[in-house]
Structure 1
Amino acid sequence: MTVRPIMETRPQEDPSWWGAILLGAVFIIAGLIVLGDVVAATVISAFLIGIVLIIAGISEVFQSFSAPHWRSFFWRLLIGLLYAVAGLMLVTNPAGASIALTLVFALALIASGIVRIVQAMEYWQWFGWLLLASGIVGIAAGLVILSKWPISGLWVLGLVVGIDLLVHGFWWITLGLGLRRDSRAIAA
């Protein structure tokens, strides 16, 4: 009978931590680029949203012809045409359209802030105070945007996209560092 040596088995280090850090760095760089010229980022965002709306609208128009009932056909055709028209407005005049988008965005922030404040009372035991704070910040942000509107329409979307990219990038880096720390603790 031969005795086999027991091989030490150690879990392999998870390589995904560096991928998360790399992705976070890409998001942060993109966020800094966007924040470097928020007006250009706003116009580009409006233009890209317009292209997506045109594609969605055309798709909906074509899809409406497969509707089994005339009523469905009419509504789907109308929705597709509205998407396409809105997209054309964004593509042909992204700066002007971004001003309108900013107005809608500010009103949506205020409305969602009010809803979050109402929900905070209902969910108070589950960190409702944080929901309340989020609602107050949402309302305040909407009011600040409205107070500077229509000029704010030229920079708000770019600023929001830039900040979102930065925060998301920091989250990815934090996740990557946490994965690295945890994989080393398991391997040791």
Structure 2
Amino acid sequence: MTVRPILETHSPSSDPSWWGAILLGAVFILAGLIVLGDVVAATVISAFIIGIVLLVAGASEVFQSFSAPHWRGFLLRLLVGLLYAVCGLMLVSNPAAASVALTLVFALALIASGVVRIVQAVEYWQWFGWLLLVSGIVGIAAGLVILSKWPVSGLWVLGLVVGIDLLLHGFWWITLGAGLRRDNRAITA
């Protein structure tokens, strides 16, 4: 049995991935506009939600450690669960103050994400990779600006940078989807 390459069996305009990319871009842009509507609220809400997630993860780890105490590492699993829960409680109880620490972590994540986008831009250059390159450069620059103003930037910068990052990434997805619709090539792994 022979397998024909996927590019020979369908046209890009009949492939749903182009409109999926456009829809994803629209979601990113809408999310970016919502975040930019109130950057301080977006920062505090982000810290609160992360706190809830950490509380649930910590409680789950503690529960699991008591559910299987015969497993190795009972004490370590218990301590990890308690650490998650305590960090989550700190974020939930004072999300404004906790956002200062989150801002530091976020700045480092933006830099790492920007580097990945730059590498991807080279790989996907023919599919509007220059937009991904710009997005990566902006991510790295934003991360460096946050680090240079930290901890003062703790409240408002997280929401602002997330909003701008979402807008740029959404614009790239929409442009990619429109290009895929017109192009006879498909992105393959």
In the alignment, is residue 20 of structure 1 matched against residue 21 of structure 2? Answer: yes
Residues 1:143 and 1:10: Cα distance change in structure 2 (over 3 Å): closer
Q: Which letter maps to 2:95?
A: P
Superposition map of 1:10-89 within 5 A: 13-65=14-66, 66-69=68-71, 72-89=73-90
CA deviation profile, 1:5-51 (whole Å, cap 9, x unmatched): xxxx9857224322321221121121022122211110010011001
- Residue pair 2:58, 2:82 contacting (<8 A) in 1 also: yes
- Residue pair 2:44, 2:99 contacting (<8 A) in 1 also: yes
Could you tell me which residue of structure 2 aligns to residue 157 of structure 1? 158
Residues 1:30 and 1:16: Cα distance change in structure 2 (over 3 Å): same
- RMSD after superposition: 3.2
Question: How many residue pairs were aligned?
Answer: 152
Residues 1:175 and 1:105: Cα distance change in structure 2 (over 3 Å): closer
**Structure of greater Rg:** 1
Q: TM-score, normalised by structure 1?
A: 0.67
- Residue pair 1:53, 1:84 contacting (<8 A) in 2 also: yes
Could you tell me which residue of structure 2 aligns to residue 119 of structure 1? none
- Residue pair 1:13, 1:183 contacting (<8 A) in 2 also: no
Q: Which moved more, 1:79-88 or 1:17-26?
A: 17-26
Q: Secondary structure at the match of 2:79?
A: helix
- Residue pair 2:29, 2:171 contacting (<8 A) in 1 also: yes
Could you tell me which residue of structure 1 aligns to residue 173 of structure 2? 172
Q: State the distance in 1 between where 2:174 and 2:34 align.
A: 18
Unaligned runs of at least 5 residues, structure 1? 1-8, 117-133
Q: State the distance in 2 between where 1:156 and 1:165 align.
A: 14
* 4+ long deviations beyond 6 Å: none
- Residue pair 2:22, 2:177 contacting (<8 A) in 1 also: yes
How far did residue 148 of structure 1 move?
A: 2.8
Q: Secondary structure at the match of 1:102?
A: helix
Q: Secondary structure at the match of 1:32?
A: helix
- Residue pair 1:14, 1:183 contacting (<8 A) in 2 also: no
Q: State the distance in 1 between where 2:36 and 2:176 align.
A: 23
